C-alpha cells in the first residue's frame, strides 16, 4: 500500500476579503508545487460562492507533508489567516484504499 497522503483543506474568507484570500492562496501554489514530495496542490473555489476555497493536495509521504507544514510560505499565510478567514481552516487527511 502506498504511503501517499491526500489532503483536503477548506478555507472560508470573511465577506469582503474574497479577493485578498484568493490572491494569497494562489501565491501558495507555485512554491508548494516545487516542494519535494508534492504530487499536486490544486486550488478550487466553490461554484457560486466566492468566499469558499478548497485545496486538494497529494503528497508522497507524511514526512513531505510535514515539511510543507513548516514551509516559510505556509507559515507566512498562517500569520494573516485569522484576519482574512471567517473560521479556522478545516483540514482532513486521506489515504487511497482502492
Give residue-wise pLDDT tens across range 8-64.
999 999 999 999 999 999 999 999 999 999 999 999 999 999 999 999 999 999 999
Could you tell me how many helices (H) and strands (E) the chain has, helices first?
3, 4
Q: Using the Cα atoms of residue 42, residue 47, residue 84 and residue 10 in order, give the sign of their dihedral.
A: negative
pLDDT for 2: 63
Q: Global pTM?
A: 0.92
Q: What is the CA radius of gyration of the chain?
A: 14
Residues 6+ apart with CB under 8 A from 14: 51, 84, 85, 86
**CA dihedral for 87, 33, 64, 80, sign (positive or negative):** negative
Amino acid at each position: 500500500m502506498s504511503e501517499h497522503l491526500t489532503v483536503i483543506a477548506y478555507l472560508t474568507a470573511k465577506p469582503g476579503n474574497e479577493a485578498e484570500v484568493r490572491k494569497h492562496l494562489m501565491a501558495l501554489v507555485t512554491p508548494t508545487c516545487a516542494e519535494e514530495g508534492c504530487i499536486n496542490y490544486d486550488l478550487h473555489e466553490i461554484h457560486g460562492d466566492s468566499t469558499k476555497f478548497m485545496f486538494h493536495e497529494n503528497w508522497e509521504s507524511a514526512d513531505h507533508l510535514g515539511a510543507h507544514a513548516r514551509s516559510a510560505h505556509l507559515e507566512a499565510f498562517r500569520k494573516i489567516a485569522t484576519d482574512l478567514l471567517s473560521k479556522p481552516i478545516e483540514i482532513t487527511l486521506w489515504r487511497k484504499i482502492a
